[in-house]
Structure 1
Amino acid sequence: MKSSLLFTAFLALISGAHSTDWVQYENSLYTAGSGNVTWSDARAACRKLHPRADLITIHSYGELDFVAGMFGEDIWIGFNDIETEDRYVWANGATVDFTVWAERVDNTAKNCVHMDSGYSGAWVEDYCSNSLTFACKIEL
């Protein structure tokens, strides 16, 4: 019963998500963004794809492995400390229940985070104005 409900939700979301290819992992849908853009432009691009889409959040090693395997390059994720220095939050307000830093350098100018393919998907602080590719997620 649960999988048929997820499939129904999946079809409903896809029909409203333009013609982008979405892939399901557990209770979420993922898609690759188009081009290299700043963090804020990446977030806006996700929302253009679907009103409930946002930059990806990662909550487990399983999800990290899935995303790293799916994209295989450095990508923006929704983790940031834009509002308060050194207080990292998910852009969509999700609970911070998992982190995997590749390196942490206390740099007040770096407020956005990307998933680094060179570190098996671990996270690196970055300048929000840098241009990277990105991934979007819809939580079902």
Structure 2
Amino acid sequence: MHPHRTDDQDEEQHTAAHRTGYFMKECQTPDVKSNSTDSPQSTKYSTTEENIHTNLTAGCRSGKCNNGWEAHGGQCYFFSNKNLSWTLSEEECVHKKSHLAIINDEKEQKLLMGISAPKMQFPEDKFWIGLNDRQTEGEWLWVDNTPLTNKGFWLENEPDNWKGVNNQYPDGEDCVRMGVKNFIANSAAAGWVDTACERKYKFICETEACL
């Protein structure tokens, strides 16, 4: 219970006190180029087993991302410089033919933590990722509806579904943000905190890098 927290300042104190999957995408053919300067190659989402097999052999490779995106391990990542709610952040990613980041393993966690850390101007300058329990409390799902299996990246005592000072967040904390400003390179430091989906943070979009 947090009787004295007030919005960002209290959230920062709250998280500081605790410190001591993805969408199946079909790449464009190699001769198709995007005119966008801030979005990756076009992406299609599919959940059928047949399409999953097809997409895994679609020829995506690392290093082919549009301007403003970063290529790592066959994926393109976009780190926003504006703050939006979780829902609007996901809509923005979809508009860019992508989705909020889905973190599949420790390697990807380290990668995104390492990239996001220098982009944070202050401790609460964090990033939304594509994880939430809006459908059923305590059942954490990624934006492609796959369940969370690796639960080792939460900050201590998180998630806690805090409802805010004077019940300012009656629906609790159903969306997840990440980031640690003083992140130690190559560590697997936990960086996930559940928070109210209507709050505004930066966000990370993800899609596959294609030829």
Q: What TM bracket, shorter-length normalisation?
A: 0.7 to 0.9
- Whole-Å separation in 2 of the counterparts to 1:115 and 1:78: 10
CA–CA distance in 1 between the matches of 2:85 and 2:130?
A: 12
Residue number in structure 2 paired with 1:84 = 136
For the 8 Å contact 2:131–2:142, the answer to whether it is kept is: yes
> Residue type of the partner of 2:95?
K
Q: Considering fraction of residues, name the structure with more strand.
A: 1
For the structure 1 residues 41 and 26, does the alpha-carbon distance in structure 2 shift closer, same or farther, using more than 3 Å as the test?
Answer: same
Q: CA deviation at 1:16?
A: 3.5
2:160 corresponding residue in structure 1: 105
TM-score by length of 2: 0.54
Map of 1:58-69 to 2, 5 A cutoff?
Answer: 58-69=103-114
**RMSD of aligned alpha carbons:** 2.5
Alignment equivalent of 2:70, drawn from 13, 20, 23 = 23
Distance 2:142 2:74 in 1: 18
Task: Please say which structure displays the higher CA radius of gyration.
Answer: 2
Among residues 163, 172, 178, which one is paired with 1:115 in the alignment?
178
In structure 2, the partner of 1:138 is: 207
Q: How far did 1:139 drift?
A: 3.6
Shift in Å, 1:11 = 8.8
The amino acid of 2:36's aligned partner reads H
State the Cα distance separating 1:111 from its structure 2 match. 0.4
Q: Distance in 2 between matches of 1:17 and 1:25?
A: 22
1:81–1:112 contact (8 Å) kept in structure 2: yes
Q: Distance in 2 between matches of 1:10 and 1:27?
A: 14
Alignment partner of 1:57 is 2:102: yes
From 83, 87, 91, the counterpart of 1:36? 83
Which residue of structure 1 aligns with residue 198 of structure 2?
129
Gaps of 5+ in 2: 1-26, 39-67, 121-125, 163-170, 184-188
Q: Deviations over 1:100-122 (max 9, x none)?
A: 11022144511001013257451
| Alignment coverage as a number of residue pairs | 129
Distance 1:17 1:40, change over 3 A: farther
Q: Distance in 1 between matches of 2:89 and 2:34?
A: 19
Once structures 1 and 2 are overlaid, which stretch shifts more, 64-73 or 82-91? 64-73
Q: Is the 8 A contact 2:139 2:147 kept in 1?
A: no
